[in-house]
Amino acid sequence: MKFTIYGSGCAKCKQLTANAEDAAKAKGIDYDIEKVTDTNAIIDAGIMRTPALAIDDEIVIEGKVANADEIQKLLA
């Protein structure tokens, strides 16, 4: 499974990354994390608000820091 975190690298982006990792570990899922910090790449992905999370290239969260439980529900 691939998580892509879109954002500037701020504290919210780091928290979203940690929450995604916690959710995957709780489910026992192998994962890779890619961080996209380039503004043009974020815009090209169609993201208007950061932080954002994509799971296997599908944007599932935009403009908020989802907690690990919310992300686990997306993994089900």
**Inter-CA distances, 17 with 30, 50, 74, Å:** 15, 12, 15
pTM: 0.93
Crossing angle of the two packed helices 11-27 and 68-75, in degrees rounded to 10: 50
d(CA 37, CA 27): 27
Residue the block writes with tokens 């879109």? 6
Q: Which CATH class is domain 2-75?
A: alpha beta
Please identify every residue annotated as catalytic.
10, 13
d(CA 37, CA 33): 13
Q: What is the pLDDT of residues 18-30, one digit of tens each?
A: 999 999 999 999 9
Q: What is the pLDDT of residues 2-60, one digit of tens each?
A: 999 999 999 999 999 999 999 999 999 999 999 999 999 999 999 999 999 999 999 99
